[in-house]
Amino acid sequence: AEVRAEFESSYRQVLRAIEDTAEADLPRSGLFEAWDDIPLWQFFSVLTWQHYEMHHQPIRTWLEGLDAG
């Protein structure tokens, strides 16, 4: 339950950040020191669907193991 609550909280934070971003700011880069060379829209994609694509299958496999166990 705690992991789910943390997920929901982080999801709301990312969604709020995306919704609060002006469309004109999306192509800007240099907003984050560690991600200096990528535009803001790409930063958001890394935090959302690209991150999901990287981890969803291992998590599904783990969850299926829990259901079977």
pLDDT digits (tens, 9 = 90+) for 8-64: 998 899 899 889 999 999 998 887 777 778 898 988 888 888 777 888 888 888 888
Q: How confident is residue 69, by pLDDT bands cut at 50, 70 and 90?
A: low
What pTM, to 2 d.p., does this model score?
A: 0.61
Distance of CA 43 to the CA centre of its chain: 9
pLDDT digits (tens, 9 = 90+) for 39-55: 989 888 888 887 778 88
What pLDDT does 53 receive?
81
**Other C-beta atoms within 10 Å of 48: how many?**
14
